[in-house]
Structure 1
Amino acid sequence: MKRHATAVWTGSLKEGAGHLSTQSGILVNAQYSYKSRFEEGIGTNPEELVAAAHSGCFTMQLSAYVTGDGFEIESIETKCDIDLLEGKIVSSHLAVTAKIKDISNETFQELVTKAELNCPISKLFNTEISTTATLV
């Protein structure tokens, strides 16, 4: 399976602007710029998109492990914080909250760790990945 996205940029780094589009069409000419990346401008930025990819991938992987072990999921919500420092992504932190019927906290934490290590986006990263997980 292959997926693609396209970025188009015009102008200089600080005064220029770009647009992102994805194969699925969910993003079509989505605006991004220096201000949306490093300040408070309108539009998205690469780190926000990486955070979305990591939280989505991890959540799907955790879902596979939980249901594979025979538990019923009511909900899983994951927030991902990407930390960009001096031109490098230095960490990705996943904060997951889940409602899963009849699962022990110990089993849940084991599956969270397994998902953190094995989701394809985690495997792509060369950075620190951490997770906090809460059952509700």
Structure 2
Amino acid sequence: MKGKKTDLGTSNCSISRTLQIIGDWWSLLIVRDALMGSERFNEFQVSIGLAKNILASRLKKLVADKILSIEPDGKSPFIKRYVLTERGRQLSVVLVALWQWGEENCFAPGELNVRVVDEKTGQPIQPLELRTDDGRLLAPAEFRMGLRSKSVSSGD
């Protein structure tokens, strides 16, 4: 028996709230394809191979969560385009991080023949890194998630 999915939308954790919106793999694959230029239902379906009812459900949720917007297609009044919003485009960093992790950890050397590259130069992009405000590189053991400190007014 399937249980009801836990609602993470009110959690005090940014990761939990993000997963509430884009936490299933189909949604991330739709955003990946949208970043690569797909806009139409059939383009997503052919690329991902997802059943029409599930794809329709995921697209509807991504629109409701303001990751995609629906725009008319200039070619036909019966076709709509799913276009990334600014909020959706910001997910490119998340997808590149997943891509780079997968490149390093999910493929044998020489097995992967696709890379993330700079559109202008064709050169591979640098690995994403965690850095402090002053530019210092951080290792995983050198950061933590903690409560934000309250700002102190300079006039006090």
In the superposition, the TM-score normalised over structure 1's length comes to: 0.22
In the superposition, the TM-score normalised over structure 2's length comes to: 0.20
Q: Higher relative contact order by CA 8 Å / sep ≥ 6: 1 or 2? A: 1
Higher strand proportion, which one? 1
Higher helix proportion, which one? 2
| Greater C-alpha Rg | 2
